[in-house]
Every structure is written in structure tokens, then in C-alpha cells.
Amino acid sequence: MNIIEVRNLKTKFENKIVHDNISLTIKEGEIYGLLGPSGCGKTTLLREMVMLQEFSEGSIEVLGYDIYNINHVNAQKIRSKWGVLFQAGALFSSLSIKENIALPLIEYTDLSSSMIDEIVNFKINLVGLKSSDAHLFPSQISGGMKKKAALARALAMDPKLLFLDEPTSGLDPISARDFDRLILKLRSVLGLTIVMVSHDLQSIYDTLDRVAIIDNQKIAYEGTISEIGSVNSNFIQTFFKNKEHII
């Protein structure tokens, strides 16, 4: 089953074209990577998929709904099925880490506060934060910790679909590998579908099933990593040149 289908998408800011007629398909249970040089429109595409940004032409279907013509009820329904990790974390600055993670649980379920506490602590531990840091506020934690806390918040409701914008940037290498293992684990036990923007080669090789490479407003490549070498694109050739060192 296709979780996300992007068809002939075109995105324009004023008169600057970011995406020109791009199409891609993300299947259920897949870890899918959006790759490409800085400024090629990966974050923009992600924002369009989660209905934060409008596109100019084409269509995007998420979880079976055409998000251009979606009504409010359905929009809320699919919003409750996904979790989003923003590039810069976007934690609520006036809430502690714990409260940030508990917020969706408090708003959308009738769980008792002790159960919520239990879930929050589990999520904090799962992403590799110390539970003694749970009462700290976003301004009191490091950049990497913010990433982890934001991931815990994205996972709070056990979403079926996870959008991650550069999840490993700003993490130390050990945490980054832990992160890779974690999402593989989550995918295998919970059947998550993950859409991920990444520049982290190790992470790309270890986790991604399929990738789309956006370059020059187009999809330069869509498919598995192993078949990537043959593609004729400047970005791909340079970016994946050193893969022998990693594998």
C-alpha cells in the first residue's frame, strides 16, 4: 500500500521554482530518504506533505487522502497518525521536556496521569535522554538533547508515519548510530513508515530502504541505494563517491 504519493508537484516561491514536476511514492513500512544538496527543497517538500505549506501544482496523497482537497475532520485524523521532527527541534519553549512529550497524550487521550508519566519516561529513555533531565526546559539543554527530546515528542502517540528532518545532524556519532538502530527497531516492531531527510551518509546506508534525490528542481533518482552508482548526476557522484569507506 502506498502511504504517500506525490504526483507532478510544482512549488514556486514568488518566481523562484523549487520543485518542477516531481513525483514519488512511499510505501507502507518503508524507511524513505529525501536527499539532495542544501536548498534543493527537501524541507519544503516535507512541509508540503504535512500540510504546512501550499504547493502550486500537482497533488499529494497522504494515508489515502488528497491533502489539497481535504476537509478539517480528515485533516485532524491524519494529523493524529503522524509524528513530525523539525530540523531545529521546535520544542515548546515554555514547557519542560517532560511536558513537551506529555502534551499530545494529555490533549488526545483520557489516560491517567500516572500512565502518561509512565509513557513519557519510557519515551525519554527510548531516545537516549536521561530521566533526570526530564524537568529541564528547552533553553537549558544542548542541541543534541533537543533533537532527542523532539524525537520523543514525535513518537509520543506511537504514530504510524514519522517525518524526520535531519534527525542525526547535531548528534554525536554514538547517539547517531543509536538513533539508526532505534528507528530500525521501531519500524520492525511497530511497522512504522518513516520519511527522512538526511545528510548523514552512515545513516543513509544503514537505515534507508529507498531514496529520492532532488537536484535542480527535479527528482534525479528514485530507488534503492545499491543501484545508485550508475546514475549520472553531479551531486550523486560526489556525494556517494566515498561509499567504499563506509560500507
Partner 1 sequence: MHTLITIQLKADKLFLNFSGEITVYTINILQNKLLNINTSTVKEIVFDLNAILFLDTAGALFLNKLQHDYEIQTFNVKISSHNKKINDTLELVENYKIDSNTRDERAVSSLHIFYRKYRKYIEGVKYFMEFLGRLFMSIVLYLKSFKSIRYKEIFFEINESGVKALWIVSLTSFLIGLVVAFQSSYQLKIYGANIFIVDMLGLSILRELAPVITAIVIAGRSGSAFTAQIGAMKITQEIDAMKTMGFDPYSFLLLPRIIALMIILPILVFVSDIMGMLGGMIVANIDLGITVEVFTSRFQEVIKVKHFYVGILKAPFFAFLIASIGIYRGLVVKDDTKSIGINTTKSVVESIFAVIVCDALFSIAFTSVGI
Ligand X SMILES: Nc1ncnc2c1ncn2[C@@H]1O[C@H](COP(=O)(O)OP(=O)(O)OP(=O)(O)O)[C@@H](O)[C@H]1O
**Closest listed residue to residue 137, CA positions, set 193, 75, 82, 91:** 91
Judged by CB under 6 A, the residue of 18, 116, 228, 236 near ligand X is: 18
Closest contact distance (angstroms) between CB of 106 and partner 1 is 12
Of 42-50, 172-180, 218-226, 227-235, the window that binds ligand X (rule: CB under 6 A) is 42-50
H or E segment and range at residue 163: strand 161-165
Contact status: 44 vs ligand X (CB under 6 A): yes
Strand order in the sheet with 2-13: 16-27, 2-13, 57-62, 65-66
DSSP string, 6-28: EEEEEEEETTEEEEEEEEEEEET
Sign of CA dihedral 229, 233, 234, 235: negative
Contact status: 184 vs partner 1 (CB under 8 A): no
Nearer to partner 1, 60 or 155 (CB): 155
Of 123-131, 170-178, 205-213, 226-234, the window that binds partner 1 (rule: CB under 8 A) is 123-131
Q: What is the largest distance, in Å, between two alpha-carbon atoms of the chain?
A: 56
Contact status: 65 vs partner 1 (CB under 8 A): no
Q: Which residue is nearest to ligand X (CB)?
A: 43
Contact status: 198 vs ligand X (CB under 6 A): no
Dihedral pair phi/psi, residue 13, rounded to 5°: -110, 120
What is the DSSP secondary structure assignment for residue 56, as one 8-state letter? S
Contact status: 43 vs Mg ion (CB under 5 A): yes
Closest contact distance (angstroms) between CB of 60 and partner 1 is 26
Report what 18 binds from Mg ion, partner 1, ligand X, none; CB cut-off 5-8 Å by kind: ligand X
Q: How far apart are CA 86 and CA 4, in angstroms?
A: 19
163 φψ region: left (φ > 0), alpha (ψ -120 to 50), beta (else) = beta
**Closest listed residue to residue 225, CA positions, set 242, 244, 209, 247:** 209
Closest contact distance (angstroms) between CB of 121 and ligand X is 32
Contact status: 161 vs ligand X (CB under 6 A): no
Contact status: 11 vs Mg ion (CB under 5 A): no
* Sites for ligand X among residues 77-116 (CB under 6 A): 87
Of 6-14, 24-32, 39-47, 102-110, the window that binds partner 1 (rule: CB under 8 A) is 102-110
Residues at the contact surface with ligand X, assessed by CB under 6 A: 13, 18, 36, 38-44, 87
